[in-house]
Amino acid sequence: MRYDAMNRTAGRPILRWLGQFAWRDLALVGVPALALVIGGFWLAAQYIRPAPPGTLRVATGTPSGAYSLYAARYRPGAEDLGFHIAEIATAGAVENLRRLRAGEVDFGFVQGGIGAGINDDNLLSLGALYYEPLWVFHARGARVQQFRDLAGRRIAIGAEGSGTRALALSLLEAYGIAASPTRLSPLGGTAAVAALERGEVDAIMLVGAHRSAAIWLALFSSRATLLSLADAPAHARHFPFLTPLTLPRGAIDLARVIPERDIALVGTPVQMVAHADSHPAHVDLMLQAMRAVHASPGLFEAAGEFPAPRLGDFPIHPRAQRFYQSGPPFLQRYLPFRIANLVDRTIVLLLPFIALLLPILRYAPQLYGWRIQRRMNRWYGELKFLERDAWLMSDPSAREVLNARLDALEEAVNRLSVPLDYSDHYYHLRAHIRLVRDQIDRRMAQRL
């Protein structure tokens, strides 16, 4: 009957396959290994960022300012890669910095020097973009030969929250002319230029690229004169974030000879600052957009001078540091941006496979086999003790006791669940039990 049951089982491949395993040993080896792999994948998943959102929030400034113009130039390249740059209009660099610290935007244009003394681990620089000069215009005919001549004048220094206002106040205070009788106006941008042309203010201070609408209007205004800052080198000494710049004669317009002579200016590098929570893919995208737009020569910049990882108010983002050292990530050089980002995130999940699963696949079978062999060795130990007792016993009546112990051992061995791969060990054990039984029978027969 037992033979017939075995025959019926032999016709079922699944049952034959199940019989190849010692399930208790397999569970004792496999369950901890599986738990270790799952734990490794879970731990790796904690370091994987979700897919990048389709929109990058960038704090720019006034709609007619240079920041907004540059953000518009970033947009086509981002859209080609399937992303949208959303410009967040602000009063200027100071408000940009505030929004960055509050986590309201992902990136922001920040004027150099604005973040001095701010120790915020959530703010990281992607590098300097270009020089942003300080432009001081005064009414034609006004007796203003140098910066200190602005004392007692009506000066438009920009709106609250703008980088222009922050820099203007710093310089005016350094000269000791920020207080009365000097009158300071919160006008900025094109409104300040219009006020100068109407005679409502005597001078205006603007910070920005020459392409911005306000500075362009002032440069071509018939009622405004650009002041040359003779103390520009001294300004840079007092304010390390400032750099002396020279606007050559005719650099704006050769035909009209604007300016009419070389003009000494000071400028500060504009930084692109990222919030630490910005998605790594967004950081890579922004770095590529920055290089595409700012690598060309400018009025004050040499070709390839910017963007650059210059030390500024904030530490350089690690991804930006790698970008400047070795270019875009390896995968992004050969794959579409989104696919490269997907593969990059997937690689993190493969780390547990490499670090855990492969060693487990190598050593788990050995551990499984060791457990099977260990059970066999246990019964071999019992058999060895029984054989020793048989040689030590001289009383023929002990034969029944020894045979009873052998019967119990053989019955226990017969109940063992042994995988097919270890059947040879199993049958060797049974053969050795029979061998010991025969030896005991012969020894006891000789003593009778």
More confident residue, 356 or 175: 175
- Residue range(s) of every CATH 3.40.190.290 domain in the chain: 55-328
- The predicted structure's pLDDT at residue 10: 44
Q: Is residue 267 a contact partner of residue 243, using CB atoms and an 8 Å limit? A: yes
State the pLDDT at residue 4: 47
């941006």: which residue's tokens?
337
pLDDT of the residue at 8: 44
Q: What is the mean pLDDT of the chain?
A: 84
Confidence (pLDDT) at 15? 40
266-287 pLDDT, tens digit per residue, is: 999 999 999 999 998 899 999 9
**Span 31-89, pLDDT tens digits:** 777 776 667 666 655 566 677 889 999 999 888 888 999 999 999 999 988 899 999 99
Q: Which residue has the higher pLDDT, 182 or 18?
A: 182
pTM of the model: 0.69
Mean pLDDT of 125-144: 94
pLDDT band at 131; cut points 50, 70, 90: very high
Between 359 and 297, the more confident residue is 297
CB 21 within 8 A of CB 372: no
* Average pLDDT of span 355-382: 75
More confident residue, 151 or 431: 151
Tell me if 184 sits within 8 A of 158, measured CB to CB.
no
Selection from 44-53, 360-369, 374-383 with the highest mean pLDDT: 374-383
Ramachandran region, residue 133 (left: φ > 0; alpha: ψ -120 to 50; beta: rest): beta
First to last CA, the chain: 40
Residue-wise pLDDT for 7-31, tens only, equals 444 444 444 434 444 555 566 656 7
pLDDT, position 133: 96
Task: Tell me the C-alpha distance between 16 and 27, whole Å.
Answer: 19
Confidence of residue 292 (pLDDT cuts 50, 70, 90): very high
User: For 407-432, how does the pLDDT look when each residue is reduced to its tens digit (9 = 90+)?
Assistant: 888 888 877 777 677 777 778 888 88
Look at residues 310, 375, 349 and name the one whose alpha carbon lies nearest to residue 28. Answer: 375
**Between 19 and 238, the higher pLDDT residue:** 238
- Smallest Cα–Cα separation from 188: which of 177, 169, 175? 169
Angle at 61 (CA atoms; ends 55, 67), nearest 5 degrees: 80
Assess whether pLDDT exceeds 50 at residue 1.
no
Model pLDDT for residues 392-405, shown as the tens digit of each residue: 766 666 777 777 88
CB 59, CB 88: distance < 8 Å: yes
Select 55-328's CATH number: 3.40.50.150, 2.40.128.20, 3.40.50.720, 3.40.190.290. 3.40.190.290
**Cβ neighbours of residue 10 under 8 Å, at least 6 residues apart?**
16
Share of the chain above pLDDT 90, in %: 51
